[in-house]
C-alpha cells in the first residue's frame, strides 16, 4: 500500500526580497481536523511498514527488560531528619518517591531493600498518572523540616505544569493549586511561601511569582517580569537555604538576583548589573574569618570562564572589578560549575573533551584535588548534595562500558566509597567491550574527536555495521554514557560512535562558538568528516553506516542527508529541527526570539537569512532525492520545542522528491517522547529495530 499522499497547498513567504513557495506549510494548523487526520494516517502507514520488524522489536524490548532490575531503589540522600529516595516496582511504569526517618548513623546511608520499614510515600507517580496517556513530573521541592512538598505535573506533554502542595504529616494535598507553571519551584524553609515561574505565549519563562500557602493563586505576587524576549527566568534555593536565587539569562547574557529566604517579600538584590555578552552564576560560601561571600563563575574577558570571590550585595549591585580571582581562566580548561559546602568547594570543569570535578577546602581555594576513576573515556559529575554541612559529596561515574555508579567522596580524607552501581542483569561483563577515541579531520583542518564503543570481536570481520550519533548545539556535550538498550546493538556486532562536532561544548567555548550562528555549517561538515574517517580507516563502509540525532541533532541529520546522502545507509532523525528558517523567522512561535542568539536573526538580517536558507534541510531537499538514505523521522504532536510540523513537512517533501522516508508521530506526547518506562522501552526498541534493519539488511536500501 503506498504512503498517504500529502496534498500540496502552496503558500508564499517573502523576506529580504526572496520569495519562497511552501507547499506544505498548511500542516502547521494543529487545530484543523484534516491536519490531525492526515498525521494519524501517516503514522498508521508507518506502523504498517514497521510491522515486519515486530519480532525484532519485541526481542529488543525483552532484552532491555531482561537487563533491567525492575524493582529497585536509589541510594538515599539525607536532607534534614530524613533520607529521601526513589524506588521502582516491577510492572509499574513510573517511580515512587519516598523517605525514611534518619536514625543515629549520621551520614551513613541506610541499607534499604524492598519496601523499607517506616517508609513514608511522598509521591506515587503511578497514581498521579492514572487516567492519562501521558504523565511527567516537573520540579519538586521539600522544606528542610520535611513538612511540605511542592510538586509539578504535566499530563499533556506541552511542559505546562500544575503546581500542588502536599502536607507530609498527613499525606494529603493542600487546597492550593497553581495552573500553567513552567518547571522549577523554590519553597522557603518555613514552608510559608513558594516561588515559581510562568511562560508567555511563546513558551518563554518570563515571570517569577510568589505564592503564600493557604491563599488563592489569584492573590500571588509578581516578583519579577523580564520584558526582553531574548531572556528567560529561573528560580531556586541555594544549598545554605539562606537565599532564593532568581536567574535571568539569554544565550549570551545573564543576571542574578537574591531574595533573603527568611524575608521572602523583600526586594530582590542584583548581584552584578546585566552587561551584554557577560554570563555569570553565583554560589554563596562561608569562609573562615570572612563570613558569607559569593563565588561567581563568569566569562567576562574569560571565554572558558573564571571563578572570583565577591561580597553579598546590598541595595546596589556589586562592582565586578572589586572581585578577587579564585580560579583563573585557562584556554585548555572550560569551567562549568562551582558548588560550596560548609568545609569544601567543588569545581566542575572539562579538559581534553572529558568532564571532571575537583575539590578544595574553603580555606585553601588554590589547592585542588581531582576526583577520577581512571578510565580514558569517562564522565565524572557531582551528584545530589543538598546539605551544606554534609561531610561528603556524592559523585556519579559512568563510561561507554561502565554502568552508572554512585560514590561518596569523604571530604576530610579523600576516601571514595562505592554506594551503588546500576545492576545490569544477565551477567554483563564490561571487559567484553572496548572504548576508544579517534580524531577526524574537518575540511578546514580542525581535528574532531570521535568516541567509539564495540563488543570485543566485532572488528575481526571489519568493516562493521556502525551507528554514528551527533548533536552539536547549545554548547551541550555528548559525554561518555552507558546505555542498556545500546548493548543489544553492540551484541549484534554494531559499533557505536559519537561525533563530538562543533556547536557542542566538548573542547570549550571556542568549540561552541565555531559551530553556531554564521559558523553553523561546521557542525554538519564535522559530522560528515567523522563519518568519512570511519570509512577511510576501515571501521565501516557507507552501506553499513547509519546516523542518528535528535532535536538540534535532528537538524544535523537533515543537513547531512543533503550534504552526503551516499555516505549513509540510513538516518534516524528524532524530533528534528529540520525547518529552522521558517520557525526562526516567526517571533510568535514558541522560543523563537530566545533562539536568535544561537542561530542568528534571519527576520532582520539578510545575511543570516541567506546563510540559514543555505543549510536548512527542508529548504535544500533536492528535486531528485532518490539517492537519499532510508530516513525515519520520529516526533510528537504536543512537542513545544520542535513543532511536529517540521518533520511532517520535511518527510512530505522528501517523499515527493523520491526519498524513502517514514514519519512516526506520537499523538499523546511531547519533546521527550512517550512517558512511562515500558512505553519508552517499546519506543526505543522500535527505533533500534529499524536501525538494525538498515545496518544488517543492506539489500533493503
Per-residue pLDDT tens for 589-642?
Answer: 877 889 999 999 999 999 999 999 999 999 999 999 999 999 999 999 887 778
Mean pLDDT of 252-273: 97
Q: Is pLDDT of 676 > 90?
A: no
Residue 640: its pLDDT value, please?
73
Active site residues: 551, 639, 671
Cell of 14: 517573502
Residues 650, 52: Cα–Cα separation, whole Å: 25
Digit-coded pLDDT (tens) for 109-167? 988 888 888 999 999 999 999 999 989 999 999 998 999 999 999 998 888 999 999 99
Average pLDDT over residues 81-98: 95
Tell me how long the chain is.
701
3-class DSSP assignment, residue 692: helix
* pLDDT one-digit tens code per residue, 338-359: 999 999 999 999 999 999 999 9
Task: Read off the pLDDT band of 458 (50, 70, 90).
Answer: confident
Rounded CA separation 609/601 (Å): 7
Average pLDDT over residues 458-481: 94
Predicted local confidence at residue 670, as pLDDT: 66
pLDDT of residue 2: 82
- Residue 14 backbone dihedrals phi, psi, to 5 degrees: -130, 125
What is the structure's pLDDT at 290? 85
Strands 254-260 and 269-270: antiparallel
> Cα(first)–Cα(last) distance of the chain, in Å?
18
Under 8 Å between Cβ of 495 and 458: yes
Bridge pairing between strands 570-574 and 545-550: parallel
The helix (run of H) or strand (run of E) holding residue 73 is strand 72-73
What distance in Å separates the CA atoms of residue 597 and residue 698, rounded to the nearest whole number?
Answer: 42
**DSSP state letter for 522:** H
Q: Is the pLDDT of residue 701 over 50?
A: no
Alpha-carbon span 242 to 245, nearest angstrom = 10
Q: Are 668 and 133 in contact (CB under 8 A)?
A: yes
Q: What is the pLDDT of residues 183-221, one digit of tens each?
A: 999 999 999 999 999 999 888 999 999 999 999 999 999
Q: Cβ distance 246 to 228 under 8 Å? A: no
* Residues 570-587 pLDDT 10s: 999 999 999 999 999 998
Contact 468, 547 (CB under 8 A): yes
> Mean per-residue pLDDT for 275-283?
97
The bridge status of strand 630-636 relative to strand 661-666 is parallel
- Comparing CA positions, the residue from 5, 47, 106 lying closest to residue 666 is 47
Greatest alpha-carbon span in the chain: 78
Angle at 299 between CA 641 and CA 521, to 5 degrees: 50
CB 644 within 8 A of CB 38: no
Please state the rounded mean pLDDT for residues 223-243.
Answer: 96
From the list 162, 146, 155, the residue with the least C-alpha distance to 98 is: 146
For the entire predicted model, the pTM comes to: 0.94
Taking each helix axis from N to C end, the angle separating 677-696 and 54-67, rounded to the nearest 10 degrees, works out to 130
Residue 699 has pLDDT above 60, yes or no: no
Q: What is the mean pLDDT of the chain?
A: 95
Annotate 341-376 with b (16+ C-beta within 10 A) or e (fewer).
Answer: bebbbbbbbbeebbbbbbbbebeebeebeebeeebe
| Nearest alpha-carbon partner for 624 in 580, 575, 658 | 658
pLDDT at 671: 64
Q: What is the pLDDT of residue 698?
A: 62
Pairing of strands 466-470, 545-550: parallel
Of the candidates 430, 551, 530, the residue with the CA atom closest to the CA atom of residue 482: 430
Q: What share of the chain has pLDDT > 90, as a percent? A: 90
What three-state secondary structure class fits 53? helix
* Residues contacting 10, CB < 8 A, separation 6+: 21, 22, 23
At 142 the three-state DSSP class reads strand
Amino acid at each position: 500500500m503506498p504512503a498517504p499522499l500529502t496534498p500540496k497547498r502552496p503558500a508564499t513567504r517573502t523576506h529580504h526580497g526572496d520569495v519562497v513557495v511552501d507547499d506544505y506549510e498548511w500542516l502547521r494548523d494543529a487545530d484543523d481536523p484534516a491536519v490531525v487526520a492526515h498525521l494519524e494516517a501517516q503514522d498508521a502507514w508507518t506502523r504498517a511498514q514497521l510491522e515486519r520488524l515486530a519480532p525484532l522489536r519485541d526481542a529488543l524490548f525483552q532484552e532491555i527488560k531482561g537487563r533491567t532490575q525492575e524493582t529497585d531503589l536509589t541510594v538515599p540522600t539525607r536532607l534534614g531528619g530524613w533520607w529521601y529516595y526513589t524506588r521502582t516496582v516491577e510492572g509499574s511504569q513510573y517511580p515512587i518517591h519516598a523517605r525514611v526517618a534518619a536514625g543515629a548513623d549520621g551520614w551513613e546511608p541506610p541499607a534499604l531493600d524492598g519496601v523499607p520499614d517506616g517508609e513514608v510515600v511522598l509521591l506515587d507517580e503511578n497514581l498521579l498518572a492514572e487516567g492519562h496517556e501521558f504523565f511527567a513530573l516537573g520540579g519538586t521541592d521539600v522544606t528542610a523540616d520535611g513538612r511540605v512538598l511542592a510538586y509539578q505535573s504535566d499530563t499533556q506533554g506541552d511542559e505546562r505544569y500544575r503546581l500542588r502542595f502536599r502536607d507530609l504529616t498527613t499525606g494529603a494535598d493542600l487546597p492550593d493549586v497553581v495552573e500553567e507553571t513552567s518547571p522549577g519551584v523554590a519553597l522557603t524553609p518555613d514552608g510559608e511561601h513558594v516561588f515559581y515561574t510562568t511562560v508567555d505565549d511563546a513558551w518563554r519563562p518570563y515571570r517569577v511569582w510568589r505564592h503564600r500557602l493557604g491563599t488563592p493563586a489569584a492573590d500571588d505576587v509578581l516578583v519579577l517580569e523580564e520584558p526582553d524576549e531574548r531572556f528567560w527566568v529561573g528560580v531556586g534555593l541555594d544549598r545554605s537555604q539562606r537565599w532564593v536565587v532568581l536567574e535571568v539569562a539569554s544565550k549570551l547574557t545573564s543576571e542574578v538576583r537574591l531574595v533573603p529566604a527568611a524575608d521572602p517579600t523583600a526586594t530582590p538584590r542584583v548581584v552584578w548589573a546585566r552587561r551584554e555578552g557577560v554570563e555569570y552564576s553565583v554560589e554563596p560560601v562561608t569562609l573562615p574569618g570572612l563570613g558569607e561571600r559569593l563565588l561567581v563563575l563568569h566569562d567576562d574577558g574569560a571565554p572558558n570562564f573564571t571563578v572570583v570571590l565577591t561580597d553579598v550585595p546590598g541595595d546596589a549591585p556589586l562592582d565586578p572589578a572589586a572581585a578577587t580571582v579564585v580560579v583563573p581562566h585557562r584556554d585548555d580548561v572550560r569551567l562549568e560549575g562551582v558548588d560550596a559546602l560548609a568545609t569544601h568547594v567543588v569545581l566542575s570543569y572539562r579538559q581534553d573533551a572529558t568532564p571532571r570535578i575537583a575539590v578544595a577546602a574553603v580555606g585553601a581555594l588554590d589547592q585542588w584535588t581531582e576526583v577520577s576513576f581512571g578510565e580514558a573515556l569517562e564522565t565524572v559529575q557531582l551528584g545530589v548534595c543538598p546539605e551544606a554541612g554534609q561531610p561528603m559529596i556524592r559523585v556519579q561515574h559512568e563510561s561507554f562500558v561502565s554502568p552508572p555508579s554512585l560514590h561518596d567522596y569523604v571530604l576530610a580524607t579523600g576516601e571514595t566509597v562505592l554506594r551503588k552501581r546500576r545492576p545490569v542483569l544477565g551477567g554483563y561483563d564490561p571487559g567484553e567491550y572496548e572504548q576508544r577515541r579517534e580524531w577526524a579531520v574537518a575540511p578546514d583542518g580542525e581535528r574532531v574527536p570521535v568516541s567509539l564503543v564495540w563488543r570485543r570481536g566485532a572488528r575481526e570481520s571489519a568493516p562493521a555495521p556502525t551507528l554514528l550519533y551527533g548533536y552539536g548545539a547549545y554548547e551541550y556535550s555528548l559525554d561518555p554514557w552507558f546505555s542498556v538498550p545500546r548493548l543489544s546493538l553492540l551484541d549484534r556486532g554494531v559499533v557505536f560512535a559519537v561525533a563530538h562536532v562543533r556547536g557542542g561544548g566538548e573542547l570549550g567555548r571556542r568549540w561552541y562558538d565555531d559551530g553556531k550562528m554564521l559558523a553553523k555549517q561546521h557542525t554538519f561538515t564535522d559530522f560528515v568528516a567523522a563519518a568519512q574517517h570511519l570509512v577511510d580507516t576501515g571501521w565501516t563502509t557507507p552501506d553499513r553506516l547509519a546516523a542518528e540525532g535528535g532535536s538540534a541533532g535532528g537538524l544535523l541529520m537533515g543537513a547531512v542527508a543533503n550534504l552526503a546522502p551516499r555516505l549513509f545507509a540510513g538516518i534516524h532523525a528524532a524530533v528534528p529541527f529540520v525547518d529552522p528558517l521558517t520557525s526562526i523567522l516567526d517571533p510568535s512561535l514558541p522560543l523563537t526570539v530566545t533562539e536568535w542568539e544561537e542561530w542568528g536573526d534571519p527576520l532582520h538580517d539578510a545575511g543570516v537569512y541567506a546563510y540559514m536558507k543555505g543549510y536548512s534541510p527542508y529548504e535544500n531537499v533536492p528535486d531528485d532525492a532518490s539517492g537519499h538514505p532510508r530516513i525515519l523521522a520520529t516526533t510528537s504532536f504536543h512537542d513545544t520545542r520542535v513543532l511536529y510540523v517540521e518533520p511532517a513537512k520535511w518527510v512530505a517533501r522528501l517523499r515527493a522528491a523520491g526519498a524513502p522516508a517514514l514519519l512516526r508521530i506520537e499523538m499523546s506526547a511531547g519533546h521527550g517522547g512517550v512517558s512511562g518506562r515500558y512505553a519508552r522501552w517499546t519506543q526505543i526498541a522500535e527505533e533500534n529495530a529499524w536501525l538494525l534493519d538498515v545496518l544488517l539488511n543492506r539489500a533493503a536500501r
